[in-house]
Structures are given as C-alpha cells and as structure tokens.
Amino acid sequence: VAQVCQARADLILLLPSTLCLLALARVWRMARNGNPAPTRAVVTFWLALLVAVLTKGPITPWIAVATAIGLASGEPAGRRWRWLARLRPWLGLASVAAVVALLAWAQSRVVGGSVLAATAYRETIGRVLAGIDGHSGPPGLHALLVPVLLWPGSLGLFGALAWSWRKARRRGTRGASPSCRFLLAWALPAWLGFELAATKLPHYTLPLHVPLLLLSARWLLRLAARRPVAWPAGLRWPLRAWQFLPALVVPAGSGTVVWLASGSVVYAGLAALAVLAPLVLAASLVKLGPVSGLAWALAGWALGAVILGFALPRWSAPWTAVRLAAAVVAADPGGERPLADAAWGEASLPLLARRLVTPLAVEAVPDWLDEHPDGLVLLPASGVGDLPVREAIGGLDLVHGRRVYLALVGAPASRERPED
C-alpha cells in the first residue's frame, strides 16, 4: 500500500522552506539592529523547518545552514555567529530531533532499521556522491536551466544579480543593503551545493527560485520607476537574446507538438504563426517601449503555453506510463494477478495502475513466472522470447530521456491459471 500511495514532495516543500527562510531573515534583521528576536519568528522558523524535514529530509536544513554561512561571511570575525543564539538553537534542534527520531523509530518497526538506514543514506549522501536513477549532470546544469525555468522572471536576473551584489557589498555612509545581502546569501551558497551534488533534476533548486525572483522583481521595478524607462547597457545583449530565442523556440516547439499530435502540417503551421506573430511584434516595439514589447512577448509565450496545453495530451508518446497502466488494467480489471516490472522502473506505474509492482531483473523473470503462473510482467520488447504478449507499447521515458519499446507479457498458456 505504501508503494501505491507514494508521491513527490518537491512542490509541498516550497511553502515550509520559504516560511523558514523568511523567519530567519526576520531574526537576522532584528539582531543587526540590536533588538531581541520576536518569539513568533523563532517559533515559525523551527516549525517550518520541522515540516520541511518531514516533507523532504535535509534539503531545507541545508539551505538554512548555507544561508547562515553566507550571512556570516560578511560580518566581522567576532560576531559572525552571535546572532544565531537568538534562534534558541539548542531547544529548537532538540525539538526537531525528537520528532524525527520518533518518526524514524515508528518507520523502523514497519520496514526494519537496516532498510530505513539504507534508504536514508541512498536518498541523502548517495544522491550527493552519485547520480541516482540516471539523474546526473555536470556542475552548472542548474544555472543553465534557470533562465528557462524562471521565464519571464529571469528577464531581469542578469542585471539583478550584478546590481544586488554591488548593493550587498557597498561601503560608505549608506552601507550595504540588508535585503540584497540576505537574498544573495539565501540563493547563492545553497545553489553551489546543488551544482556540486552528482544527482540533478530541474526541480531540486525550486526553493531557491524564491530569492532569485525577488531580486529580479526588485531590479525590474527599479528600472520601471525611471522616466523615461532606460535599459542599462549591460542588459541589452541578454534582452536581445531573449527576444530572438523565444521567437524561434516557442513557435517551432508549438508547431512541432501540434504536428506530432495531429499529423497535420497545416495545423502545425497555423499554430507556429499564431505564436510567432506577437513575438515579432514584441521585437519591433522593444526599442520604442520596453513595457509594450514585454507585454507582447508575454502574450506570445502565453499563447504558446495554451497551444501546448491542448496539443500535448493528444500526443501519445510522452504518456507511456498512462498507457502501460491502461494495458495492465485491461489485462487484469480486478487487480488479482501479481505484476512485476523488469523494464519501466518508474514509481508512476503503481500509482496509475493502483496495485503493487514487484521490481525484477530481466534474468529473474522466468523464476518469478514459475512462482506466479498467473502473473504479468513488463519486459523490453526485445527480450520477450516465447512469452505471450498481451500488449506492445512504445513511447518516451522523459525522466531518463530515452525511447522505450515495452511489452506486457504473461506466463505461457500452458502454465496460466484457467479463468473462471
């Protein structure tokens, strides 16, 4: 049952992680001004940290520690860590550790201590040291993805980071900007850790998108307050790149998906032109009025998203897991036959098929079928042999970036249990 009810926690993590860091910012600002930390902020920090730990382990604690290190790096040596005492760390850490230990004890009674320890190691240190489930990438991959993932907020990211860095390190009578210091300390040190970790998925840095978007929005609002609006020279080349990149990629991508979904070149061409038109208009207006140009660019981007929203569900190749689950349900509507997986390997299958799935190596399939004569197995289409094929399914495995050809097979007819 636990396997069937498995779900990802990355989106849920965003809320407690953000609350935790905002509470940390409140405590830090009050400490800078020589004021005691508000009890509400301290309680919010530890409660949000606890919820984040229960949601996805050590991710938020790592971000909080990295933020504290980033803030300490700009303070005099004698008082770098003194402000952390206002968080009541011993009481907070003891409370979080007690809840986590109680939960670990309850889980170990169900799955066993060794299994729990091995899983915890694999999902924490193991993901740092080696790419798990094929999700690996070189350092810098997250940085390459962030302009696309944060679009259109990333439009101001190029200038915002440079401007905020200068503001955070500014000396003199006006001093450094506390807001810029904290947001950079929130985003950059923890980001470095994600880049150095061996396992990489685009959503891993989601909790760090918040400070990046805040920095970008603050800088764009600062520009918009100018009369007339003037884009700095340092932003012109990334702005032009963002003009032409969406104007090429978004219409082409929209048209390609429509063609794959419908098989019609005419519909694909119309979709591409519909998205291209406002983007071309945006490029022509950006010199006369940056705000108008940005509005038309966003309109083209939104239109592309709407077209993709209609076309993607009608393109069958990416929805391999859905078709695998449908094939399993068609072969066994009552959910009585055991199911093994020697080819797909994704947690989506038990969720969609609503039944337990036994992971197998291909070499172990004959022995498993001997033990379960009425069982069903997912195999690579090339390794079916003389087993009867219930359904052959080809498609894309987007998680691992591969094309798959799979077959749902059963035991030879002579070994199957007679149906009622």
User: How sure is the predictor about 396, in pLDDT bands with cuts at 50, 70 and 90?
Assistant: confident
Q: Which residues contact 368 (CB under 8 A, 6 or more apart)?
A: 340, 358, 360, 375, 377
pLDDT of 5: 46
pLDDT higher than threshold 60 for residue 78: no
Mean local confidence (pLDDT), 80-85 = 80
Is 200:135 a contact under the CB 8 Å cutoff? yes
**What's the Cα-to-Cα distance from 396 to each of 23, 167, 329, 337, rounded to whole Å?**
43, 47, 20, 26
Most confident of 113-117, 206-210, 225-229: 206-210
pLDDT digits (tens, 9 = 90+) for 297-338: 677 777 778 887 888 777 777 788 888 888 888 888 887 888
Which residues are paired to 68 by β-bridges?
A: none
Any idea which of 23-27, 156-160, 416-420 has the lowest mean pLDDT? 416-420
User: How sure is the predictor about 340, in pLDDT bands with cuts at 50, 70 and 90?
Assistant: confident
Mean local confidence (pLDDT), 35-59 = 90
Sort 131 into a burial class: Cβ within 10 Å, 0-12 / 13-18 / 19+.
Answer: middle
Mean local confidence (pLDDT), 223-228 = 64
**What's the Cα-to-Cα distance from 192 to each of 63, 86, 140, rounded to whole Å?**
11, 27, 9
The torsion angles phi and psi of 389, rounded to 5 degrees, stand at -90, 120
Tell me what percent of the residues of the chain surpass a pLDDT of 90.
14
Mean local confidence (pLDDT), 234-242 = 63
pLDDT higher than threshold 60 for residue 250: yes
Which residues are paired to 379 by β-bridges?
A: 407
pLDDT higher than threshold 50 for residue 62: yes
> Shortest CA distance to 169 belongs to which of 146, 193, 188?
188
pLDDT higher than threshold 60 for residue 228: no
pLDDT higher than threshold 70 for residue 79: no
Which residues are paired to 410 by β-bridges?
A: 376
pLDDT higher than threshold 80 for residue 375: yes
pLDDT higher than threshold 80 for residue 358: yes
Any idea which of 16-30, 184-198, 281-295 has the lowest mean pLDDT? 281-295
Q: Identify the residue with better confidence: 278 or 184.
A: 184
Average pLDDT over all residues of the chain: 79
Q: Which residues contact 241 (CB under 8 A, 6 or more apart)?
A: none
pLDDT higher than threshold 70 for residue 245: no
Tell me what percent of the residues of the chain surpass a pLDDT of 70.
80
Q: How far apart are the first and last CA of the chain?
A: 27
User: How sure is the predictor about 238, in pLDDT bands with cuts at 50, 70 and 90?
Assistant: low
pTM of the predicted model, to two decimals? 0.66
Q: What angle do CA 273, 275, 277 make, to 5 degrees?
A: 65
pLDDT of 2: 37
User: How sure is the predictor about 234, in pLDDT bands with cuts at 50, 70 and 90?
Assistant: low
pLDDT digits (tens, 9 = 90+) for 252-262: 888 888 887 77
Is 338:375 a contact under the CB 8 Å cutoff? yes
pLDDT of 1: 35
pLDDT digits (tens, 9 = 90+) for 154-206: 777 877 888 888 887 766 445 568 888 899 999 999 999 889 888 877 888 88
Is 280:138 a contact under the CB 8 Å cutoff? no
pLDDT digits (tens, 9 = 90+) for 94-107: 999 999 899 888 88
pLDDT higher than threshold 50 for residue 114: yes
pLDDT higher than threshold 80 for residue 385: no
pLDDT higher than threshold 70 for residue 231: no
pLDDT of 23: 93
